[in-house]
Structure 1
Amino acid sequence: MDFSLTEDRRMLSDSLNRFISDKYGYDHRVKVAYDAPFHDTALWAEMCELGVLYALAPEDAGGFGGAGFDITTVFEALGRGICPAPVLGSLLASKLLTAAGADQSALLDGSVRYAVAIGELDAPYDLDAIETEAKDGKLTGRKAVVYGGADAKVFLVAARSGGTLAVYEVKASDAQVTGYALIDGGGAAELFLDATPGTEVLADATAALEDALDAGRLALCAEAVGAMDATNEILLDYLRTRKQFGVAIGKFQALQHRAVDLVTEIEQARSITILAASKMGAEEQAKFVAMAKTLIGRAARLVAEEAIQMHGGIAMTWEAAVSHYAKRLVMIDAQLGDVDYHLERVIATYAA
């Protein structure tokens, strides 16, 4: 099977990598990622002009992509630059709007920022445990860790209506939104709903929500692959230049073996992400996405820990880029289901 990028995806990858490298470099990223609105809004507009969001939606929804490999192309580039732009929330929103057959032109051109509110304090991953209720067009409940919600204008909220899950569009101006920075940069929000008006976008939305979450999980896997690649490059450069006893520490066999082990882990992570991307839209999509998220969670943590240990104390400082990559890699595991959660999902598919 040929896993090379198509010409369109290669052009998108090159453009996005160049854009992030030139305009969203490490120093700028650290400057904007931890203070409201937790990303650069001017660069968000420029990023949208590149067609990044259009690549995440299918042609019949106004985009030019939407397949698994379109998602991985975009998010691998974002991971390489640990870019805090709120693209994940836009991807989730696009998937839900596509399922609803709703107009998403304002989302795709970046003129309206969307965020998707699914998880709750007692139900961070499980749709069956969602307690937010919708009655007569009014929503009541609390949504936790809404990615990109700090400056979103519109929320797509998962709520129970008549015993089934539905998706409602809620204006940020009608709800109480508390934004904050995540520990690894970028923003999220708590969304408080108290008889808040909402417009139903999609009824009986369980399947669409699961599909959107799987797309988000695939995106996180690709982001982790990009971040692991960048972390490994930083580490190898350090091993070549840092000297001890008058010799570059990369000459020490013990460190060489550990560095080779990391390359193996990264390539395995890349392979499982490619496999999961190829299964998007197929019957076994959920299983392969869960498998990928499980392996990625373990590999990303290992790469983060090994990079810090082989750097030594300098890797714990704010000024060292590797420390920010390490935080992002560790936190990716916690997003949209951690290793334990997805391992249980994999086991369940084989037990069925």
Structure 2
Amino acid sequence: MNFTYNETQEMLRDTLARFLADTYDFETRRKMVASDAGRDPGIWRALATELGILGAPFAEDQGGLGGGAVENMIVMEQLGEAIAIEPYLQTVVIGGGALKATGGAQAEALITQIIGGDAIIAFAYAEPQSRYELHNLRTAAKKDGAGWVLNGHKAVVYAAPWATHLLVTARTGGSQRDPDGVSLFLIEANRPGIVRRDYPTVDGFRASEIYFENCSLPGDALVGSEGGALPLVEQVVDEATAAICAEATGVMRRLHAGTMDYARQRKQFGRPISEFQVLQHRMVDMFMEVEQAASMTLMATLKLDLPAPERMAAVSQAKAKIGKGLKFVGQNAIQTHGGIGITDELAIGHYFKRATMIEGQFGSVDHHLGRFERLSMPD
């Protein structure tokens, strides 16, 4: 696929790449991950106010750069190359995507806060029993006068320890696995009735188990239509999946480059191991996986505006292929490095951890192969 970025997109990519190279080196990231907060809020502020990166996919009349899914892809690939822990995916791609889709005065106000770096959104959708079924929900919201009362448990909510707002899926009707009756709520993260257990994830991010215990919500917390939010949730998750494929491309690119550098330096029998033919073949195979990941991500990104079945098929194709590529590139990187590859002091092990986590986020290889098969079968 032949695709060339326009001048604005090239500037976005190059500006972010330079910023991350200057401020987000591996040792700086290690210190941030090890800190009590798990991040440096100044980085997020700089992305917003100094670079305008957080406005990349939003309209110019909202204060954004006038971009869309391609701009998200560009940003996510650069964040992947730096294994950055910034909550861009949760806040801009998912939260911003849902707000753009629903619109309204409240959405416009919060988008302004996102662009300015004042809002961080965590997407609370997964539950212990749900696996990758977005409509498999035990969390429930019941009417209470003009508002709602929310009860339930959300698992592995990325960026929740830092969030100002939570985007929460809950059942307002139907049975546990009924596609109908799914609603979406946007609420302040510090509301009474929200209990949070925070923890670091294996890839250096922070996440939470969130429990809603008779949490009272105002009527305007509802995003979109009552009981009819599943298509919107599927859309934003597909957009997030395409974005995380872009992040995976950046991760794989660094895994390949780091392995190439190591192979040129590591000597055996008096020669750099990069001269051994079997390892040259391995490097080429890793490179091919990176390039295929970039192409598949672009294909899925360009199809996000198509009707749901075509969008979902394209996203599942990309995620399944890239999931396999992540495993291949990651395992070969570690095997080439040997035991040193999994030490905390070497960057390659951290890239491998992130690659492993991405494999399962928003659907495993098997899940997406199954979804693509279902979408491809005739009625």
Q: Which category of TM-score, normalised to the shorter sequence, fits these structures?
A: over 0.9
Structure 2 regions of 5+ residues with no counterpart? 175-180
Q: Within the alignment, does 1:94 sit opposite 2:96 as a pair?
A: yes
* Alignment partner, residue 124 of structure 2: 117
Contact 2:135 2:230 in 1 (8 A): no
Q: Within the alignment, does 1:37 sit opposite 2:45 as a pair?
A: no
Instruction: Quote the offset at 1:65 in angstroms.
Output: 4.0
* Deviation readout 1:44-95 (Å, 9 max, x if unpaired): 1111222222113345765334532111101000000100111111121111
Q: Within the alignment, does 1:176 sit opposite 2:187 as a pair?
A: no
User: What CA distance in whole angstroms lies between the structure 2 residues aligned with 1:59 and 1:280?
Assistant: 21
Q: Within the alignment, does 1:274 sit opposite 2:298 as a pair?
A: yes
Decide which of 143, 146, 155 is 1:144's aligned counterpart. 155
Residue identity in the other structure for 1:292? A
Contact 1:57 1:95 in 2 (8 A): no
SS in 2 for 1:146: strand
Q: Within the alignment, does 1:132 sit opposite 2:139 as a pair?
A: yes
Instruction: Quote the offset at 1:35 in angstroms.
Output: 4.0
Q: Report the count of equivalent residues.
A: 352
User: What CA distance in whole angstroms lies between the structure 2 residues aligned with 1:186 and 1:36?
Assistant: 12
* Alignment partner, residue 358 of structure 2: 332
> Runs (4+) of structure 1 moved beyond 6 Å?
none
User: What CA distance in whole angstroms lies between the structure 2 residues aligned with 1:279 and 1:109?
Assistant: 29
Contact 1:220 1:332 in 2 (8 A): yes
Contact 1:178 1:191 in 2 (8 A): yes
- Please give the residue correspondences for 1:341-352 in structure 2 after superposition, counting only pairs within 5 Å: 341-352=367-378
Structure 1 regions of 5+ residues with no counterpart? none
Decide which of 242, 245, 256 is 2:266's aligned counterpart. 242
* Alignment partner, residue 78 of structure 1: 79
Residue identity in the other structure for 1:287? A
SS in 2 for 1:121: coil
Q: Within the alignment, does 1:189 sit opposite 2:208 as a pair?
A: yes
TM-score (norm 2): 0.89
In structure 2, relative to structure 1, the CA distance for the partners of 1:179 and 1:217 (3 Å cut) is same
Contact 1:96 1:212 in 2 (8 A): yes
SS in 1 for 2:97: helix
Instruction: Quote the offset at 1:299 in angstroms.
Output: 0.2
* Deviation readout 1:105-138 (Å, 9 max, x if unpaired): 1122111221111111111421221121111211
* Alignment partner, residue 157 of structure 1: 168
Residue identity in the other structure for 2:206? G
Residue identity in the other structure for 1:295? K
Contact 1:133 1:139 in 2 (8 A): yes
User: What CA distance in whole angstroms lies between the structure 1 residues aligned with 2:153 and 2:187?
Assistant: 13
Please, which moves more after superposition, 63-72 or 265-274?
63-72
Contact 1:86 1:186 in 2 (8 A): no
Contact 2:264 2:272 in 1 (8 A): yes
User: What CA distance in whole angstroms lies between the structure 2 residues aligned with 1:162 and 1:197?
Assistant: 18
Q: Which has the higher contact order (CA 8 A, sep 6+)?
A: 1
Q: Within the alignment, does 1:67 sit opposite 2:83 as a pair?
A: no
SS in 1 for 2:46: helix
In structure 2, relative to structure 1, the CA distance for the partners of 1:347 and 1:62 (3 Å cut) is farther
Please, which moves more after superposition, 164-173 or 137-146?
164-173
Contact 1:178 1:189 in 2 (8 A): yes
User: What CA distance in whole angstroms lies between the structure 2 residues aligned with 1:74 and 1:326?
Assistant: 20
Percent sequence identity is: 37
* Alignment partner, residue 54 of structure 1: 55
Residue identity in the other structure for 1:28? T
Instruction: Quote the offset at 1:315 in angstroms.
Output: 0.6
* Deviation readout 1:305-326 (Å, 9 max, x if unpaired): 0001111111121111111011
RMSD (CA atoms): 1.5
User: What CA distance in whole angstroms lies between the structure 1 residues aligned with 2:2 and 2:54?
Assistant: 25
Instruction: Quote the offset at 1:27 in angstroms.
Output: 0.4
Contact 2:57 2:65 in 1 (8 A): yes
Please, which moves more after superposition, 51-60 or 204-213?
51-60
TM-score (norm 1): 0.96
- Please give the residue correspondences for 1:188-337 in structure 2 after superposition, counting only pairs within 5 Å: 188-198=207-217, 199-203=221-225, 204-283=228-307, 284-337=310-363
User: What CA distance in whole angstroms lies between the structure 1 residues aligned with 2:5 and 2:283?
Assistant: 27
